[in-house]
């Protein structure tokens, strides 16, 4: 049964990584009780505890840990009930936690960063019914043959037949209890994955049956999905807002999580596979975009420069450039290996919510929270401070609805965007309105 084996493999994964290591219990105390106030950007008492170097360097009162000597370590002293200051400030750690920290320091305070990759314990939640008026289209995806458009409208998966006049509704599929946040077709077009709150389903496109239901052991919303080129491996992101964004590599047919890593400090909004399948880009609320090796989940690069949430990422045709759309009202195009901002797009007046790049790299389309967007062609690399001729830009005719997601055909002749009112709006390749798809 898929769910059981999925949960089982997750358990094995966590137990394997936790094998006999005394540093884990102590570092979990730091992670769960301390780092919230002792991290870059929020270093209370001048102390940062998210790396061993910073921990040893200490805060306003000098080194916080003397490896091998717990009694001489400020980090242990502050845990004592009557110490001033007392840590954590408004709480007394249970004696086992303090003992773990003490033993760990005495054993040399060996750093084990794998605790930061552990999934938090899944908290039970009670779901309430979604209001009927809430019908946003949070995700859309064109099938690889461009004959079908999958649309996530609130908790319903709708599939439209693009080959017929009027683009009729072909499938109307329930099963998600919460809004569907993410969609992805496998490259061979045989599978469609949908992600929602702790819920990841894979549909067999030939029968439209739900063949896998994964994710009850996932932590939060499955905010982004990407299939690998083998059609059987799926990358999915989830996490806890403000705390973590995890990427899971999943063999969906076996219902097995192959790997999980903490990729960001906050919600991941975008995941895209490079055209050669070797790397995976992620963009998140922690303002960063990152590039991962798909084979081993190792970080290849990160792209730092946005000042607010990164809401979408997209590669150009040969993955030499990565575009990012952000709540900071900018769209940036980065040199993937130089890590530099090569092109600056966007008018700094409106939040850019989604991105799609045609496979030949000729057109990059973005949508905005105000119901507009742009098609950019012939991007010019940024030299100096000149912002005037960055690309040829054609604006999408506005629709006066928040747009969440976008897709573009390979020939760049049709653009689809999902809106807050439940409609999918269409434009032609020069940005002219070209109709809309309503529910039925
Ligand atoms: C709610 C926020 C908060 C949490 C959680 C917290 N601290 Fe602190 N910490 C502070 C503040 C504020 C100070 C500065 C206190 C002062 O100087 O009076 C501080 C100071 C310290 C210092 C002294 C640093 C120096 O050099 O002056 C140490 C050591 C320390 N904390 C360790 C910890 C440990 C270990 C934990 C977890 C068990 C922890 N803190 C959890 C807020 C926090």
Of 127, 347, 363, the closest CA to residue 355 belongs to 363
Question: Tokens 């009027």 map to which residue?
Answer: 166
- Ligand 1, residues at Cβ distance < 6 Å: 33-34, 36-38, 44-47, 58-61, 64, 74-75, 78, 85, 87-89
Q: What is the pTM of this model?
A: 0.74
CB 322 within 8 A of CB 274: no
104-105-111-117 Cα dihedral, nearest 10 degrees:
50
Q: Mark the ranges of the chain whose per-residue pLDDT is less than 70.
A: 1-21, 119-130, 216-217, 383-389, 440
Which helix (H) or strand (E) segment holds residue 98: the answer is helix 95-106
CATH value of 137-437 in 3.40.640.10, 3.40.50.720, 1.10.10.10, 2.130.10.10: 2.130.10.10
Beta strands across the sheet bearing 331-335: 310-315, 321-326, 331-335, 341-345
Q: Is 91 helix (H, G, I), strand (E, B) or coil?
A: coil
Burial class (CB in 10 A: 0-12, 13-18, 19+), 39: middle
Altogether, the residues listed in the chain come to a count of: 440
Residues of 235-246 as b/e, b for ≥16 C-beta within 10 angstroms? bbbbbbeeebbb
* CA–CA dist 426, 433 (Å, integer): 6
* CA–CA dist 322, 347 (Å, integer): 19
pLDDT at 125: 62
Ligand 1, atom 22, residue with closest C-alpha: 45
pLDDT at 346: 87
pLDDT digits (tens, 9 = 90+) for 250-290: 999 998 889 999 999 999 999 999 999 999 999 999 999 99
Q: 14 CA distance to ligand 1 centroid (A)?
A: 29
Burial class (CB in 10 A: 0-12, 13-18, 19+), 1: exposed
Here the tokens at position 215 are 């994710």
Ligand 1, atom 29, residue with closest C-alpha: 75
Phi, psi at residue 328, to the nearest 5°? Answer: -80, 10
Terminal alpha carbon distance of the chain: 35
CA 318, distance to chain mean position in Å, is 22
Ligand 1, atom 34, residue with closest C-alpha: 34
* CA–CA dist 180, 245 (Å, integer): 18
Q: 89 CA distance to ligand 1 centroid (A)?
A: 7
CB 255 within 8 A of CB 243: no
Cite the residue boundaries of each domain of the chain with CATH code 2.130.10.10: 137-437
Which atom of ligand 1 sits closest to the CA of residue 101?
35
Q: Is 17 helix (H, G, I), strand (E, B) or coil?
A: helix
Q: Is 390 helix (H, G, I), strand (E, B) or coil?
A: coil
């Amino acid at each position: 049964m898929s769910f059981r084996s999925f949960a089982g493999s997750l358990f094995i994964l966590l137990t394997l990584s936790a094998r006999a290591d005394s540093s884990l219990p102590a570092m979990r105390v730091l992670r769960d009780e301390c780092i919230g106030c002792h991290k870059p950007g929020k270093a209370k008492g001048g102390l940062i505890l998210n790396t061993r170097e910073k921990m040893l360097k200490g805060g306003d009162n000098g080194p916080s840990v003397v490896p091998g000597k717990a009694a001489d370590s400020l980090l242990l002293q502050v845990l004592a009930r009557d110490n001033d200051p007392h840590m954590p400030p408004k709480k007394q750690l249970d004696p086992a936690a303090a003992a773990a920290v003490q033993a760990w320091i005495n054993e040399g305070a060996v750093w084990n960063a794998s605790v930061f990759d552990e999934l938090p314990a899944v908290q039970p939640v009670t779901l309430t019914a979604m209001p009927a008026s809430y019908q946003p289209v949070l995700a859309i995806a064109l099938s690889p043959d461009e004959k079908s458009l999958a649309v996530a409208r609130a908790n319903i998966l709708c599939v439209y037949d693009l080959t017929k006049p009027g683009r009729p509704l072909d499938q109307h599929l329930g099963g998600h209890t919460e809004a569907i946040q993410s969609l992805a077709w496998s490259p061979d077009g045989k599978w469609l994955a949908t992600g929602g709150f702790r819920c990841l389903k894979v549909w067999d496109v030939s029968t439209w049956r739900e063949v896998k239901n994964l994710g009850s052991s996932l932590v939060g919303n499955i905010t982004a999905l990407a299939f690998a080129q083998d059609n059987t491996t799926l990358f999915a992101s989830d996490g806890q807002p403000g705390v973590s964004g995890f990427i899971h590599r999943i063999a969906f047919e076996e219902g097995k999580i192959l790997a999980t890593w903490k990729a960001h400090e906050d919600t991941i909004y975008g995941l895209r596979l490079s055209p050669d399948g070797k790397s995976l880009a992620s963009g998140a609320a922690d303002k960063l975009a990152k590039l991962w090796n798909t084979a081993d989940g190792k970080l290849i690069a990160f792209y730092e420069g946005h000042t607010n949430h990164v809401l979408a990422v997209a590669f150009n045709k040969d993955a030499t450039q990565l575009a990012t759309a952000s709540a900071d009202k900018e769209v940036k195009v980065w040199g993937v290996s130089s890590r530099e901002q090569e092109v600056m797009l966007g008018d700094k007046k409106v939040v850019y919510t989604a991105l799609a790049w045609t496979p030949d790299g000729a057109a990059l389309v973005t949508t905005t929270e105000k119901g507009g967007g742009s098609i950019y062609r012939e991007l010019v690399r940024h030299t100096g401070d000149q912002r005037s001729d960055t690309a040829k830009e054609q604006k999408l005719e506005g629709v006066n609805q928040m747009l969440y997601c976008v897709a573009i055909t390979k020939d760049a002749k049709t653009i689809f965007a999902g809106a807050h009112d439940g409609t999918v709006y269409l434009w032609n390749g020069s940005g002219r309105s070209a109709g809309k798809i309503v529910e039925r």
